[in-house]
Structures are given as structure tokens and as C-alpha cells.
Copies of this chain bind each other. A is one copy, B any other.
Amino acid sequence: MRRSVSVDEDGKVRQAKRDPEGVRRDILSAAMEEFSLNGLSGGRIDEIAARTRTSKRMIYYYFGDKEGLYERVLEEAYAKVRGGESDLGLDALAPVAALTKLCRFTFDHHRANPAFIRMVMIENIHHGRHLLHSEAIRGLNRPAIEALESVLRRGQAEGVFRAGVEALELHWQISALSFFNVSNVATFSAIFGDSLFTADGQEQLSRHVAEMVLRYVLSPGHVGAISPSDG
């Protein structure tokens, strides 16, 4: 009943008596659910074990202790989310279109990955202590800046973007708007209603975030060219 089922080369179904890598992934995915929902201190190992096809013992066998498991879950969260954002093909687009696409993608991508957002929130509550432990994660994020940097430089070279805008700072701004949109839904909508978080509200917000970023970087002569409320 707790043996996983696999298909071998001949197409024959057979019981895979052992599947260490599968067990690992199973645990990781259950742990991601639990931790992203309840945090590190709120997450329960027994609960994670229960959501698994295997037992609590295996968690300690593969991950050492709770904190070790948490760190792997955090890494996994970053890896998964960064994996899904590889090639937007920005280089093939004109600077304005590229930046717009990047903004809208970032906004949507954050929105589509609430578990990742929650893991990052939780990690920030813990002052990023575990993130520092992990070499892997830090290297994972540089490409984002480089892609933005490239778009920015092209735009500045063409004269559509003004000088004096830094890629890192712009990335910070785009991230802020996209992150907050997911991280603070609960409190914001509790206080101000959920009008910004309906399907329509989110679509409009997404457009306006992109518009805000564009207006920020466009050089004086080109601001007027913005589509009044998208088209």
C-alpha cells in the first residue's frame, strides 16, 4: 500500500520496492506545504510525516533535523521559482516592450507562486539566517539583474530611457510591487476591501505596475507615447 508504482522499460508495471529519490521529493513537497503554511516554528514534523507516503523516521534519515529540512525546502522554493522564469526572450524585443513584458511577467509569476512568497516572508522573519547558510540560492538570482541591466542599457543607448536609472534599484522596485501584492493580500484586503484583488483589480494593478515602472525610466520626450490605459 505504501510502495510506489513504476513502469519499467518493457512497459510492465512492477512494484518499486525502494525509491529513495522519490521519498526525498515526497518529503520535500509535503514539507513545503507545511512550512509555507505554518512557518518554521509553526510547522509540525509529525504533520509533514502524515502527508507523506513514508514515515517520520525518514525525514530525520534524509534531512537530519527540522532546520535542515527547512533549509532544503527554502532552496527548493527558490530553485523552482527561478527555474520557471528562464527565457522571456527580452533581447528580441524593443526596450519598452521588453521592460513591459518583464514587469508583467514578474507580477504574474509572483502571483502564481504564493508558496514561494510565503517561504521568503518566513525567511525574512528569521532574518535570512538560513538563506545565508545556503550557497546555492545566492547565485541563482544574479541572472534576473543581468537581464534587466541589458534591457536598460539598450533603452538608454537608444535614448528612450533616461540616464541615471540603476538595474539593481529598478529590480528592487519591480520586486517590491510584485511581492507586496501577494505577501500582504490578507491585511490589505481586510482593511481596505478586496477590490484590488479581484480578477479585474489584479489585471489593472498589473498594468499599472508596468506603467509606473515605464514612466519612471522613460526619458522626457518619450513619456507622452505611453498608451493611456493600455490597449
Interface contact A141-B192, CB-CB below 8 Å: yes
- Judged by DSSP, the binding face of A is helix
Kindly list chain B residues whose C-beta atoms are within 8 Å of the C-beta of A45.
none
Contacts of A62 in B (CB 8 A): none
Docked-complex contact A124 and B42, CB < 8 angstroms = no
Is residue A50 within 8 Å, beta carbon to beta carbon, of the partner chain?
A: no
Q: Which of B39, B41, B168 contacts A196 (CB 8 A)?
A: B168
Residue A179 interfacial (CB < 8 Å)? yes
Bound: A209/B188 CA distance, A: 20
- Assess the B228–A127 pair: CB atoms within 8 A: no
Contact pick for A128, options B164, B190, B204, CB 8 Å: B190
Give the size of the chain A interface in residues (CB under 8 angstroms). Answer: 59
Provide the bound-state CA to CA distance between A92 and B131, in Å: 46
Given known contacts A41-B38, A205-B169, A121 and B211 CB-to-CB distance under 8 angstroms: no
A178 to chain B: closest residue by CB? B176
- The residues of B that contact A171 with a CB separation of less than 8 Å are 192
Q: Which residues of A contact B (CB under 8 A)?
A: 38-42, 118, 120-128, 131-132, 137-138, 141, 145, 164, 168-169, 171-173, 175-177, 179-181, 183-192, 195-196, 204-205, 208-209, 211-213, 215-216, 220, 223-224, 228-229
